[in-house]
Amino acid sequence: MAASENNGAVERPQVRFVTIDENNHGQRIDNFLVTFLKGVPKGKIYNLLRKGEIRVNKKRIKPDFRLSSEDVIRIAPIVVAEPSDKPTVADGLKQEIESRIVYEDKGLIVINKPSGLAVHGGSGLSFGLVEVVRQMRPQEKFIELVHRLDRDTSGLIMVAKKRSVLKMLHEALREKEGVQKTYNALVIGSWPKRKLQVNAPLLKNELKSGERVVRVHPDGKESLTRFKVLRAFDGYTLIECEPVTGRTHQIRVHAQFAGYPIVGDDKYAPNEANAEAKQLGFKRLCLHAAKLEIDYGGEKLVLEAPIDDAWKEAMQALPSKY
């Protein structure tokens, strides 16, 4: 960062030396610098690497060089955006997220994310869940999302406090072994008990407006979701959803493809059905990450989070079939 001011003198960027610890062991130098040099364009970073103005252990390195613990990075003088440029998260939101932590240790935080909060800033948002956690835990050198939830989806989400934990969980998610995620969803219509899965390829599309939508298409990626009926109401069904693959909007699109879109889904459910559900008290996307099972630290960690009170109360007012 820029040197601090002395007696009103103009700040001047200085050479900096950074020693790598276990949190960044094995990380590519370019990815490390993108995070470390906040506010510096990627092109500028690659240019500095190419010119040898960023070195590791006094040697020129390429962007794909992997760092090791105790490596010393020399960074030439460069102007970087000050941390004070970051938006400050309101204390009320930090307190709410603190109250929603269902598990925390030295390497992992699991939070019951509220509906309506994005997981990270961008696309017009000053901050998201990960930025909130970074301001809640300023002493932590490493805070990164393990996976994502859509902004309007609530429920359990993992945030790593160590790179080793992030890598372990990423590998588990990639290999589909060691992490199992289970969701609850309220869908429009009477989901048949015999409908236990949807196996349909999903293709991402971007509309001219920039909006991202997903649809079932033979050219898409293989996608499988398992379903189970939990409770049936008059015109609605509460179901359990287990995404075997992890595609964008997978549960939402597979539910729509089966003929039973999720309540409150403004992308994939009919407007008139959503309007009717709103009058019944369902004012959000009724999709919730309810359970996480993680092989972690040599044992199985099982975490659960209930759906929010407003959704629960609206559902209890529905005529029940069974």
The whole-model pTM stands at 0.76
- Residue 296, Cα to own-chain centre: how many angstroms? 19
Residues with Cβ < 8 Å from 92, sequence gap 6 or more? none
pLDDT grade for 321, boundaries at 50, 70 and 90: confident
Cα–Cα distance, 175 to 139 (Å, whole number): 32
Mean pLDDT across the chain: 89
For 242-292, write each residue's pLDDT tens digit.
999 989 999 999 999 999 999 999 999 999 999 999 999 999 999 999 999
Rounded Cα distance, 236 and 231, in Å: 9
Catalytic residue among 150, 219, 266, 309: 150
- In this structure, which long-range contacts are made by residues 79-87, counting pairs with CB atoms below 8 Å and at least 24 apart in sequence? 79/2, 79/13, 80/1, 80/2, 80/13, 80/37, 80/38, 80/39, 80/40, 81/38, 81/39, 81/40, 82/1, 82/2, 83/1, 83/38, 85/39, 86/127, 86/131, 87/126, 87/127, 87/131
Selection from 240, 97, 103 nearest residue 158 by Cα:
103
Residue 117: phi and psi, rounded to 5, are -100, 120
Distance CA 163, CA 69 (A): 12
The share of the chain scoring above pLDDT 70, in percent, equals: 91
* Average pLDDT over every residue of 156-162: 96
Return d(Cα 256, Cα 261) in angstroms, integer: 4
Query: What is the C-alpha to C-alpha distance for residues 301 and 296, in angstroms, rounded to an integer?
Result: 6
Q: Clarify whether 21 is annotated catalytic.
A: no
In whole angstroms, how large is the CA radius of gyration of the chain?
Answer: 23
pLDDT digits (tens, 9 = 90+) for 278-302: 999 999 999 999 999 999 988 899 9
Q: CA nearest 191: which of 139, 130, 256?
A: 256
Per the model's pLDDT, the better-predicted residue between 184 and 37 turns out to be: 184
pLDDT at 210: 62
60-115 pLDDT per residue, tens: 999 999 999 899 999 988 866 555 556 788 899 999 999 999 999 999 999 999 99
Extract the tokens encoding 277: 């559900």
* C-alpha closest to that of 238 among 291, 186, 303: 186
